[in-house]
């Protein structure tokens, strides 16, 4: 089967660093994406890793290890507005069109 | 990033009626669009994959006669919830992408409430 695992909840304080892990088991893996979703809103794209290593975009970084089927999202200098749900998603090329397979999401609560 | 719009953003309807939701890619041509539904505090569940000019591919357990999908152009896909029931109340989100290896961009979602 295909599955992704990530922690359900994470709590941290403003200014801190938090890491959200994601392990996956899928077929036709093409890359790992991360999305942020605030309550009542739509998912917004944060980052994408197709190759092993670290990708940095401002305060957010994402890492992938394909041999370990593992990735993480690193959020630095946390701000209150970072409180949201974060989803890892595998790009799968199984089938003719490919699709995203989402994890269950991690709710991040940033406290003052 | 690319912009995807959805209309309406919120709809309330009576049980037994049909509701149409539109998804548009505003600044790129989307060969593929996806429809998801999301219940509170849960993840996104893929309902179907929509390719322009061809029939949609539905995920297992999704009734294609109840959730009608039309992808008439490279910038528009529609989802029609037919004979809606209260259990169809959910957050419906579409996404669009250019090619199979490209990033999916999501619309703002449609909150459907069936009374």
Distance CA(B48)–CA(B54), nearest Å, equals 13
Are the Cβ atoms of B105 and A102 closer than 8 angstroms? Answer: no
Q: Answer with the residue of higher pLDDT: A97 or B2.
A: B2
What pLDDT does residue A1 have? 64
Contacts of B44 in chain A (CB under 8 A): 43, 87, 102
pLDDT in tens, B34-76: 999 999 889 999 999 998 888 899 999 999 999 999 988 889 9
List CB contacts (< 8 A) between B108 and chain A.
41-42
Q: Which of A27-36, A66-75, A88-97 has the lowest mean pLDDT?
A: A88-97
In this predicted structure, the answer to whether residue A92 has a pLDDT above a threshold of 90 is no
Whether A76 shows a pLDDT value over 90: the answer reads yes
- A/B interface, count of CB pairs below 8 Å: 52
Q: What is the widest separation between alpha-carbon atoms in chain B?
A: 40
Task: Answer with the residue of higher pLDDT: A22 or B41.
Answer: A22
Average pLDDT for A82-99: 82
Extended strands (E) in chain B: 4-7, 10-13, 19-25, 32-38, 45-51, 57-58, 67-73, 76-81, 90-97, 105-106, 110-114
Q: Which of A99, A101, A102, A103 to mutate to test the interface with B (most CBs of B within 10 A)?
A: A99
Per-window interface: B 63-92 vs A, CB < 8 A: none
Cβ atoms < 10 Å from Cβ of B86: 9
pLDDT of residue B9: 96
Of A44, A48, A93, the CB nearest to B100: A93
Q: How far does CA A35 lie from the centroid of its chain? A: 6
Do A31 and A50 form a contact (C-beta atoms < 8 A)? Answer: yes
User: Can you read off the two tokens belonging to residue A101?
Assistant: 């397979």
């Amino acid at each position: 089967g295909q599955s992704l695992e990530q922690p359900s909840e994470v709590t941290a304080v403003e200014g801190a660093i938090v890491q959200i892990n994601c392990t996956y088991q899928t077929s036709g893996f093409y890359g790992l994406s991360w999305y942020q979703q605030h309550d009542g809103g739509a998912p917004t794209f944060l980052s994408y890793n197709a190759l092993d290593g670290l990708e940095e975009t401002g305060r957010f970084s994402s890492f992938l290890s394909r041999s370990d089927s593992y990735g993480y999202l690193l959020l630095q200098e946390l701000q209150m507005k970072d409180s949201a749900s974060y989803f890892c998603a595998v790009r799968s090329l199984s089938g003719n069109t490919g699709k995203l397979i989402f994890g269950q999401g991690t709710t991040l609560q940033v406290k003052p | 990033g690319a912009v995807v719009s959805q209309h309406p953003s919120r709809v309330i309807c009576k049980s037994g009626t049909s509701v149409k939701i539109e998804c548009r890619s505003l600044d790129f041509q989307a060969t593929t669009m996806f429809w998801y539904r999301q219940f509170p505090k849960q993840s996104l569940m893929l309902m179907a994959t929509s390719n322009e000019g061809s029939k949609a591919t539905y995920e297992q357990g999704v009734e294609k006669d109840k959730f009608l999908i039309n992808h008439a152009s490279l910038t528009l896909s529609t989802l029609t919830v037919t004979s809606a029931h209260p259990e169809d109340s959910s957050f419906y989100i579409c996404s669009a992408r250019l090619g199979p290896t490209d990033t999916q961009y999501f619309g703002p979602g449609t909150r459907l409430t069936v009374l």
